[in-house]
Homo-oligomer: A and B are copies of this chain.
Amino acid sequence: MKNVKCCKCVRCGKEYPAAPDITTCECGGILDVIYDYEYIKTKISKESLAQCGDPTMWRYRAMLPIEEDTVPQGLRVGGSPIYEADNIARNLGIKKLYIKDDGINPTSSLKDRASAMAVTKAVEAGYRTIACSSTGNAASSLAGNAAKAGLKTYIFVPDRAPKGKIAQLMMFGANLTAVRGTYEETFELSKKAIDKYGWYNRNAAINPYLSEGKKTVAHEILEQLDFETPDYVAVSVGDGCTIAGVYKGLYDMYMAGLTDKIPRLISVQAEGCCPINTAVITGEPWTPQEENTYADSIAVGVPRNADKAIKAIIDSDGICVNVSDDEIRAAQRYLAKNAGVFGEPAGVTAAAGLIKLSREGKLDKDATIVSIVTGNGLKDIESAIQNCGAPVSCGNDLEEFEEKFGLA
């Protein structure tokens, strides 16, 4: 990989050659992929992107850690829409608001970006089996992308995972274990099995390439905004991998000379599970927390990528905000009704934070803001049904209809 220098530990700084199946540093720290941006500048430009016919995440392959002759594997990921949400912006008193709907990826979440990268690296490294633990979306995206790539999967989810995600996993033919326990225990079991059987490891953070897939959402946002850098990018935060990936994408584009600044991140966590925001706000090292939120995808009490996430928030001069489950529920309804984007609870947590900050007057009125929706609301129908209420029941009778809608 001519564009990659090495993998470097974010904790101790030790450097490693970027092998396709590298995991963590011997000190236990998470690795970051280090690029040669001078080389990358010779391979990508606004003009080359404008000419690029590939609408997927791989249009940014000049900034991705794959070999020059690697054929990307998995489903067709990326190219998700970004919407101007003018009526919401007016309502919140923000100058310009964009909603990036990454829930329309093939398995309906942003995690497809990481999983497409994972199956590509697994095939590059010659593996036939790939495994991970996940609160759900990483797992279902891995199962779908692996099914397309012809890889076998072992997948571990906490048994609280919503039915929609379970159904996806089973349909995609994963060898699926629902672990009776927390996400942390789910992760531990996956680690023991992966260590013993030597499967390709798609556990987020452990595998440094996953954030590199996720970062393409930031590349895309910036290109879709015609390289006009927004002031803020709001992200829902659980494990820390997504916000770290978003930061990396913003950093890439800046370092490659395609943008002139790095936006401030808005890190939004659930009040009932906010170890990363707590660490940033207090300046203390992060400590494990309970997982008290119904937004299952970000209910991560022991975040695997806290180091990278905290660094990303601080380096971008970011803002941390925690929201209640009720605020998440309200944001889910608000976004669907006013933008036509129906996100899952964790998927709309970023928007919930944004709404809260704007109502508290904590955002510049002149700001341009992007809020990323990370997963489709269809992933968790049970909670959506509870949130939105039931339809009006009616016979085939116009009078009954008029009466029930007050039209008579």
Contacts and interface: CB of A to CB of B under 8 A. Distances in A.
Interface string A204-246: 0000000000000000000000000000000000000000000
A189 B397 contact: yes
A169 B332 CA distance: 13
Interface residues of A, number: 82
A12 B163 CA distance: 50
Contact of A167 (B171, B186, B388): B388
A341 B150 CA distance: 13
Contact of A55 (B79, B104, B387): B79
A395 interface: yes
Nearest to A85: B148
B189 A401 contact: yes
Contacts of A104: 104-106, 108
A109 to B, nearest CB: 11
A340 B106 contact: yes
A381 B193 contact: no
Contacts of A10: none
Contact of A164 (B192, B339, B378, B397): B378
Contact of A384 (B145, B167, B176, B389): B167
A407 interface: yes
A180 interface: yes
Interface string A137-168: 00000001111111000100101000110111
A193 B403 CA distance: 12
Interface string A375-400: 01111010011011111111111100
Contact of A381 (B157, B341, B381): B381
B377 A379 contact: no
A342 B172 contact: yes
Contacts of A379: 378
A56 to B, nearest CB: 9
A340 B395 contact: no
Nearest to A148: B340
Given A104-B105, A163-B381, A381-B167, A74 B177 contact: no
B338 A147 contact: yes
Given A181-B396, A377-B167, A378-B376, A76 B87 contact: no
Nearest to A106: B104
A74 to B, nearest CB: 7
A216 to B, nearest CB: 16
Nearest to A191: B398
Contacts of A196: 398
A170 interface: yes
Contacts of A83: 75-76, 148
Contact of A189 (B87, B146, B339, B396): B396
